[in-house]
Each structure stands twice: as structure tokens, then as C-alpha cells.
Amino acid sequence: MKFFNDSMAMLENTALIERFISYTKIDTTSDGSSESCPSTKNQFDLANLLVKQLAELGLADAAVDENCYVTATLEGKGNDVVGLLAHLDTSSAAPGVDVKAIFHENYDGKPIKLKNDVIIDPATDDYLGLCVGDTVITSDGTTLLGADDKAGIAIIMSALEYYKANPDIPHPTIKVGFTPDEEIGRGHAKFPIEAFGADVAFTLDGGYTGEINVETFEAYSAFVTVNGVPTHPGMAKGKLVNALRFMAKFIDRLPAEISPECTEEREGFIHPYEISGDATSCKCHLILRDFEEEKVLGWGKIVKDLAASVEKEDPRLKVDVKIEFSYPNMHKFLKEKPEIAQRLGEAVRKSGIEAKLEPIRGGTDGSNLSRKGLPTPNIFAGGVNFHGPTEWVSTRAMGYSLCTVLNLMTLYAG
Ligand SMILES: [Zn+2]
């Protein structure tokens, strides 16, 4: 069996970087306030381009459905049908329009200075320090870059390009899937999982060289609503019950040490995330995260108990708490099929790099897809510092990701 471990050769023999840059120029920012699917129509611009390119690469069934899910099949050998997934949208946390990628060739290890006083400093950005001599790509500082997840899309497309140019390289039947609205947690929602027909799938969604993920947060939301008693403030003595004052008390009582800003690695948190309302009625959205379901449900109990303690302070006050499931820790499902993680680790090592099995302090489309019966771990696509103007990617890392995908497919072809 032939394996791939030359990242630079991958960059020379495919249009990986050109593809990536062309995808970053298409604005695909998703919008969590929109009810439609896709949440923004312009995700179709990238979807339609990809369908055309997939057809040119010989995937004759390439299509986009009415919800903006792109699917295509490359027939291959072996018993397994393997999915390769990436997401079309970018986060709304930073502008995604008019992205101008900047190449820092033969990177010299110094802080990278961009527009708007944006600085990416290897002193605080460990991975950047590892990229001396690489080509590092950033935005110009006014937008995000969109390596999350257009690097993943480009890597999948370049794997298909490589198979077209080298038909002797073994691979299983590959199902390609590009999903809308991952950044707003809906990438899995209308995924045509039955029609897709894969036995296992892999997202290419973020992470520096060698990082693979078979574990994500277990995620819930809490919605706390405080209803007070409104009156004219000029005649409010003894009558007004101000919802804002009681919401402030509730938030102040949340344990400070169980917050995103005070936790790391395998620690979970309670994070008051968004607040809206007025003196009459006020609502707070909190996100609850941990790697263990029991613990995250414990965070929900803390929220309920604190809400109840606030409600007790005034009999006229009404405080409601709703807890909603968001996504599961994919490990619950993947641990039943340990061969998937083993094979993925082997594919990384065959690329000549170390396999770093990291839990994601977040979720991917694979979290809910794994719950729905399609086991879907994540493979690094090279990008770092997502959702902001300091986002960057190393071309060498992208080349290694492509090596890993080709090696993984070789292993599945048997
Ligand atoms: Zn992503």
C-alpha cells in the first residue's frame, strides 16, 4: 500500500491553495436569527460552484438540495462507504464579506501585523511559532479568513482532484457532503442521512496539524425568564417589581469559577451568553457545557436552584427556567466503534506526523450526526483562531491534512 507523507508534494500536485482562496472570496456568513434553511441565501453561491466542480471531477450525481446540502458520490472498492464532510458557512462573529487573503511566505516567526491593529503574535499563539518557514495565510485584518471551514472543503475537493489524476490510488466509495449553517448549530438538522448512505463519516473542520477529535462537549442551553410587575415609575412605591434588578441578582449568583474564562481542558462551564428584555420581563440565554452528561445536567440544576432562590425574594416575582439539549459528546457513540479512531490515528501517523487526539471544547456537525447513527469524528484542516480577524492557516498543515485524508481512504479500501 502506498501512503502519502509529503505535504509540499500535495501542494504542488493539486490546486489545493488556489481552491481555498477562491472559496474564501464567496461570502457565506450564516445568521442564527434567520428561521430559514439555509439561514442565508448566499450559501447557495458556494454550493452551486461546488456542484459544478464536483461534476467536472467526475462525480456525476453531484447535486444541491433545496436546503443547500451538497452531496456527491465517488465509486470505489471495499465494503465501507465513507463520508467526507465540511461546512459551507462562516461564523457571523466577524465580517465574512470581501475577504482578502494575505500570504506570508517563508514566515519569519515575528508578530504578523494586519489592518485595524490586528496582531497575531507567536508569543501568545503557540502554533504560529511552529510555522517558521511555512506559508501562513491570514485575512487583511478587517474580516475573518474563512479557513473554518473552506480549508476543509478545499482539502476534500483536492482529494477528489488527486483521484481523478491518479486513478490507480485505492479508495472506498466516498460520499461527499457539504452542509450549511454549522456555525449556528444546524448543520446536521436537515442532513439527508439516509440517502447519504455512509457507514462512517469524517468532518474536516479545523485544528492544527495532526489534531483529530473523537470527543466534543455535551451541550445544553438554559433559558431563564424573570417576570416582574410593571407600574408607572412615578407611582411605583411598593408596587413595581423590576425584572432587570432580579435578573442581575441571578447572574451575579452564578459561580464565577464555573465560567469559560476560568476553565480549560476537560472542565465545563455555565456561560450567560445573551440577555434581552426590560423592567417588566427579562430573558437570559445561558449555555451549559461539559464532557460528561451528568455534570452538564448538574450545571442545569445550579441554574434552576439559583433562579428559585431569586424567585423566593418577592412573592410577586415569576422566574421560569427551561433547559434544552443542544448536542451530545460524540464519544458516547464513537467508543462503541473503536476501530474508527484507531484507523484515523493510523492515517495521521502514516502522514509522518504525530496524531493528537484532543477533545473539542465545542461541537461539530459530527456530534449530532453521531447521535443520529452516522459516526463522524473530526480531522484537522489546518486553521487556527476561528471566528475572528486573527484566523490563520498554514499551507503545510493543509497539505498534511490532504495526506491524512488520502491515507485514511487507502486504509478503508483495504
Ligand atoms: Zn467549522
SS (H, E, C) 198-233: CCEEEEECCCCCCEEECCECEEEEEEEEEECECCCH
Whole-angstrom Cα distance, residue 199 to residue 215?
19
Say if residues 382 and 402 touch (Cβ distance below 8 Å). Answer: no
Q: What is the pLDDT of residue 41?
A: 97
Residues 116, 182 within the same domain: yes
Quote the ligand 1 centre to 232 CA distance (angstroms): 48
Residues 113, 15 within the same domain: yes
> pTM for the whole thing?
0.92
Q: Give Cα 255 distance to the centre of its chain.
A: 27
DSSP 411: H
Quote the ligand 1 centre to 6 CA distance (angstroms): 25
Q: What is the pLDDT of residue 212?
A: 97
Report the CATH number that the domain containing residue 224 is assigned in CATH: 3.30.70.360
Residue in 27, 80, 134, 182 annotated catalytic: 182
Number of domains in the chain: 2
| Exposed e or buried b per residue across 66-77, where buried means at least 16 C-beta atoms within 10 angstroms of its C-beta | ebbbbbbbbebe
Quote the ligand 1 centre to 381 CA distance (angstroms): 10
Residue in 80, 89, 183, 218 annotated catalytic: 89
Quote the ligand 1 centre to 264 CA distance (angstroms): 20
Q: What is the pLDDT of residue 238?
A: 96
Question: What pairing do the DSSP bridges indicate for beta strands 200-204 and 378-379?
Answer: parallel
Residues 181, 303 within the same domain: no
Low-confidence ranges of the chain (pLDDT < 50): none
CA angle (162 as vertex; 8, 381 as ends), nearest 5: 60
Dump pLDDT digits (tens) for 203-241: 999 789 999 999 999 999 999 999 999 999 999 999 999
- Please say which residue of 327, 357, 378 terminates a domain: 327
Q: What is the pLDDT of residue 333?
A: 96
What DSSP letter does each residue of 84-116 carry, written as one string?
Answer: EEEE--B-TTS--SS---EEETT--SSPEE-GG
Domain span at residue 14?
7-216+329-413
Whole-angstrom Cα distance, residue 158 to residue 61?
18
Q: Is the dihedral of CA 206, 211, 215, 219 positive or negative?
A: negative
Say if residues 155 and 398 touch (Cβ distance below 8 Å). Answer: yes
Q: What is the pLDDT of residue 206?
A: 79
Residues 379, 257 within the same domain: no
Whole-angstrom Cα distance, residue 192 to residue 196?
6
- Please say which residue of 278, 311, 327 terminates a domain: 327
Contacts of 379 (CB under 8 A, 6+ apart): 202, 203, 204, 207, 212, 344, 401, 404, 405, 408
Question: For this structure, is 313 an active site residue?
Answer: no
Question: For this structure, is 354 an active site residue?
Answer: no
Report the CATH number that the domain containing residue 401 is assigned in CATH: 3.40.630.10
Residues 256, 400 within the same domain: no
Quote the ligand 1 centre to 65 CA distance (angstroms): 21
Quote the ligand 1 centre to 369 CA distance (angstroms): 15
Nearest CA to 72 among 206, 192, 170?
Answer: 192
Q: Which amino acid makes up residue 70?
A: V
Nearest CA to 333 among 290, 287, 366, 309?
Answer: 366
Residues 171, 304 within the same domain: no
The number of CA neighbours under 13 Å toward the Cβ of 12 is 4
- Please say which residue of 309, 327, 345 terminates a domain: 327
Q: What is the pLDDT of residue 391?
A: 98
Whole-angstrom Cα distance, residue 156 to residue 146?
16
Whole-angstrom Cα distance, residue 143 to residue 387?
9
Residues 89, 169 within the same domain: yes
Quote the ligand 1 centre to 297 CA distance (angstroms): 26
Residue 1 belongs to a domain = no
Quote the ligand 1 centre to 364 CA distance (angstroms): 7
Question: Is 303 strand, coil or helix?
Answer: helix
Quote the ligand 1 centre to 89 CA distance (angstroms): 8
Residues 148, 175 within the same domain: yes
